[in-house]
Amino acid sequence: MSEIRQMNMIQAINSALDVSMERDENVCVFGEDVGFYGGVFRATAGLQEKYGKTRSFDTPINECGIVGVAVGMAAYGLRPVAEIQFADYIYPGLDQIVSEAARLRYRSAGDFTAPLVIRTPSGGGIFGGQTHSQSPESIFTHICGIKTVIPSTPYDAKGLLIAAIEDPDPVVFFEPKRIYNGPFDGHYDNPVMPWTKHPASQVPEGHYAIELGKANIVREGGDLTILAYGTMVHVVLAEVEAMGVDAEIIDLRTLLPLDIDTIEASVKKTGRCVIVHEATRTSGFGAELSALVQERCFYHLETPIQRVTGFDTPYPHSLEWAYFPGPVRTRLAIEKAMEDVSGDI
């Protein structure tokens, strides 16, 4: 049985990569500053020293090339894990993801597959402004053939990343960088809770996998259901505890495939639903969740579904903590869901 070690999310991701590379010589890790330096957030630190320059290496600043190389490697039997330094930089590689990675199994009638993972830090909270803070996850949930994963804890990050690496199809793995070193409650001036005080920082050192497509009920309740993922899981959990509401909080973990059965069962039980995500509102993943809940739970809903999201603006630098769906807007949404008052938050 694996020993348990306390890890933050960066350490858990590093551990997942290490375990996967040790178990399978076909797993290789690469990207901008990934090899020698160990990544801008140090998630790949030590891997080149341990496994050599052919399995952990640096690439040019060319996201299209990074993804294209990963597709080719995957088609020929390797298990590439490509890092895009920030999610904001993933767009030059979008054509390769959509036209090649997602389609390869289908266009070749199963003769070739693309078992690759694209890791990328996403979201705000570090004053990165509009070029280092985007949350483009909904773009990838729209692409048939791509799985989309967003962890919220070190334990989940390791288990989900190992599962993604072992998956036979391409996975885009978003890492909420605001919680790399610890969860937070959405208040800028509050101290960040270190992962050392969180139970989900107790991570097995060895191999384990968390099945993709399975949500996690992080808090059970009967008054309303709150759907969240990534950083926002911690924001809503803190606010629910502060309000004393008997809310059931579901961490989606995997957006595609989506665990709609867990969502449906919860909303039918509570009759109320609040959806919280950091990405912009229009065409955000919350819209898809709202539609699914409405289709499946219409006769059980006591109040309109509420969405709390980022604003439909480029990500601000100095005002990003106002942009965040923080405690104030989360509280208003919960109150509206409980009081049968409709409207946008």
Looking at the annotation, which residues are catalytic? 132
- Report the chain's C-alpha Rg in angstroms: 20
> Which 8-state DSSP code applies to residue 243?
H
Please tell me the distance from the alpha carbon of residue 205 to that of residue 198, in angstroms, as a whole number.
17
244: Cβ–Cβ under 8 A, 6 or more apart, which residues? none
Q: Sheet harboring 216-219: ordered strands across?
A: 216-219, 247-251, 224-228, 273-280, 306-310
Beta bridge partners of 248: 225
Beta bridge partners of 273: 225
115 vs 97, 166, 269, 334, CA distance in Å? 12, 8, 38, 40
Is there a contact between 64 and 117 (Cβ–Cβ < 8 Å)?
no
107 vs 79, 102, 145, 328, CA distance in Å? 20, 10, 11, 48
Residue 49 corresponds to which tokens in the numbers above?
């020293």
* Omega before residue 257 within 30° of 0, cis: yes
287: Cβ–Cβ under 8 A, 6 or more apart, which residues? 281, 307
Strands 147-149 and 117-122: unpaired
75 CB-side CA count, 13 A: 17
Q: Residue for token digits 């961490």?
A: 251
